[in-house]
Amino acid sequence: MPGPDGFDHATRADGSVVITHHGRAATTLRGGRAAQFLAEVEDDDPQEVMARWTGNYRRGNERTARNHPRNR
């Protein structure tokens, strides 16, 4: 399964961090959460960190859900 892509982040003058996905704002982090996010981005893969912080990541059950009778 390919890793997440299309994420970007920008730090604003007030210290908040805006995470975008394919050019659309996904979430805004402020205060301690923004600082924690920036520290985590420095240590790990930025795309995976941003996917985790926005909740936009694959859970591994997409194929199962697609094949469920109610989704046909």
Q: Report whether pLDDT(55) > 90.
A: no
Long-range contacts of 21-29 (CB under 8 A, 24+ apart): 21/50, 21/54, 21/56, 26/50, 26/54, 26/56, 27/53, 27/54, 29/53
- The predicted model scores a pTM of 0.74
pLDDT in tens, 19-44: 999 999 999 999 999 999 999 999 98
pLDDT in tens, 2-19: 677 889 999 999 999 999
